Amino acid sequence: MPVAATNSETAMQQVLDNLGSLPSATGAAELDLIFLRGIMESPIVRSLAKAHERLEETKLEAVRDNNLELVQEILRDLAQLAEQSSTAAELAHILQEPHFQSLLETHDSVASKTYETPPPSPGLDP
């Protein structure tokens, strides 16, 4: 069963097919065209083109955009357990860390697509 060519494969093949007509049309040096053909026929370049195409196709969506609220609920539930378990206390401590809280805030902002311009950095005024 033949596999359908991807857009990147088709585009690269079209460029390779047209390389033969380039010297007369553009005045391109023969050595440059040989070099270009070698690069475009390289398995590494073809793999990179396929990977790029897959990354462009994949549209990721956040599962939820209120993780900060979820962590606050978890912390309320952990409060009772933290007194009895050092593991629960450690988890509660990690979840309350400022860096972790900032990470969650940033994730929630990106997930809900509410972007704001950050305030200027204090040391970078002109």
Q: Looking at residue 65, what is its pLDDT? A: 82
Q: Is the pLDDT assigned to residue 126 strictly greater than 50?
A: no
7-57 belongs to CATH 1.10.287: yes
Q: Looking at residue 3, what is its pLDDT? A: 46
Helix (H, G, I), strand (E, B) or coil at 119: coil
3-class SS string, 91-117 = HHHHHHCHHHHHHHHHHHHHHHCCCCC
pLDDT in tens, 90-113: 999 999 999 999 999 988 888 887
Pull the structure tokens for residue 20: 């033969």
Q: What are the residues whose beta carbons fall under 8 Å from the beta carbon of 22, sequence distance 6 or more? A: 28, 33
pLDDT in tens, 43-82: 998 888 888 888 877 777 778 888 889 999 999 999 989 8
Q: Looking at residue 64, what is its pLDDT? A: 82
Ordered by start, the domain boundaries in the chain are 7-57, 67-113
Helix (H, G, I), strand (E, B) or coil at 8: helix
What is the pTM (predicted TM-score) of this model? 0.46
